[in-house]
Amino acid sequence: MADHIKIRPAPRPWVVRAGGAVLGESARALELTEGDYPPVIYFPREDLAMAFLDPSPTRSTCPYKGEASYFNIVAEAETIRDAAWSYETPKAGMEQIAGHIAFYPGKVTVEEV
């Protein structure tokens, strides 16, 4: 694992909302901190309403975590493009975030419950 990345269980439950709908709430979320960046909350897929998430063709690569796959959020009034990402097969040391999805705070609301 990269020395500047820390993954730990989130100390409190978290919720993610978009387009007026709750997409998920979890007491099993993970908090990932990377260097000086703000912490990112990763939600287990089982705690999300996956029917709202549509895989996007967008991909990116992090030298520490691996290849990220993106998701669009399909809400009744709009589609929020590339609002979430996941590392399906993360690099060694990052396995904890496999099966989890993170969201861009500027595109959705992610907050402690």
Q: The CATH number of the domain where 88 resides is what?
A: 2.170.150.40
Task: At 107, give phi and psi (nearest 5°).
Answer: -105, -25
Domain tally for the chain?
A: 1
CB hemisphere CA count around 28 (13 angstroms):
11
CB 71 within 8 A of CB 53: yes
Query: 24 pairs with which residues across the strands?
Result: 16, 48
pLDDT surpasses 70 at 41: yes
Domain with 57 in it: 5-112
Please compute the mean of the pLDDT values over residues 10-26 and round it to a whole number: 94
CB 82 within 8 A of CB 68: no
pLDDT surpasses 60 at 13: yes
pTM: 0.95
CB 27 within 8 A of CB 13: yes
pLDDT surpasses 60 at 1: no
